[in-house]
Structure 1
Amino acid sequence: MFSAIGAYVRAVEWFNRAVGRFAMYLIFVMLAVLLYSSISKTFFQPSIWTLESAQFLMVAYFLLGGAYSMQLDAHVRMDLVYGRFGPRARALIDVMTVGFLLFYLALLLYGGISSTQYALEYKETSYSAWSPQMAPIKVLMTFGVLLMLLQAIACLFRDLAIVLGKELP
Structure 2
Amino acid sequence: MSVIRKLLRFVDLVSEKAGAVGKWFAFLLVLIGTYETISRHFFNAPTIWAYDSLCMAGGVVYLLGASFDYLHDAHTRVDLIYSQFSDRGRALINVICSLLFFFPLMTVMLVLATRWAIKAWKINEIMFNSFWYPPAGPYRTVFALGLFLMLLQGLANLVRDVYMLIRGESID
Fold similarity call, TM over 0.5: yes
Q: Which structure 1 residue ranges, 4+ long, deviate > 3 Å from structure 2?
A: none
Number of corresponding residues: 168
Q: How far apart, in 2, do the equivalents of 1:45 and 1:21 lie?
A: 33
Give the 3-state SS of the residue equivalent to 1:79 in structure 2.
coil
2:29 aligned partner? 30
1:125 aligned partner? 126
CA RMSD of aligned residues (A): 1.2
Q: TM-score, normalised by structure 1?
A: 0.94
The question of whether the paired residues in 2 share the 8 Å contact of 1:91 and 1:160 is answered with: yes
Q: How far apart, in 2, do the equivalents of 1:168 and 1:87 lie?
A: 13
Give the 3-state SS of the residue equivalent to 2:114 in structure 1.
helix
Q: How far apart, in 1, do the equivalents of 2:96 and 2:48 lie?
A: 48
Q: Does 2:89 align with 1:89?
A: yes
2:162 aligned partner? 160
Q: Does 2:53 align with 1:53?
A: yes
1:167 Cα offset (Å): 4.0
With CA pairs under 8 Å and 6+ residues apart, which has the higher RCO, 1 or 2?
Answer: 1
Give the 3-state SS of the residue equivalent to 2:131 in structure 1.
coil
Deviations 1:12-61 (A, max 9, x none): 00111111122122111111001110111121522100111011000000
2:73 aligned partner? 73
Amino acid at match of 1:18: K
Q: How far apart, in 2, do the equivalents of 1:64 and 1:160 lie?
A: 25
1:3 Cα offset (Å): 2.5
Unaligned runs of at least 5 residues, structure 2: none
Q: TM-score, normalised by structure 2?
A: 0.93
1:14 aligned partner? 13
Percent of matched pairs sharing the same residue? 29
Q: How far apart, in 1, do the equivalents of 2:97 and 2:46 lie?
A: 49
Q: How far apart, in 2, do the equivalents of 1:167 and 1:36 lie?
A: 47
Unaligned runs of at least 5 residues, structure 1: none
Q: How far apart, in 2, do the equivalents of 1:97 and 1:35 lie?
A: 41
The question of whether the paired residues in 2 share the 8 Å contact of 1:109 and 1:145 is answered with: yes
The question of whether the paired residues in 2 share the 8 Å contact of 1:34 and 1:54 is answered with: yes
Amino acid at match of 2:118: Q
Q: How far apart, in 2, do the equivalents of 1:135 and 1:13 lie?
A: 27
Q: How far apart, in 1, do the equivalents of 2:159 and 2:97 lie?
A: 13
Q: Does 2:139 align with 1:134?
A: no
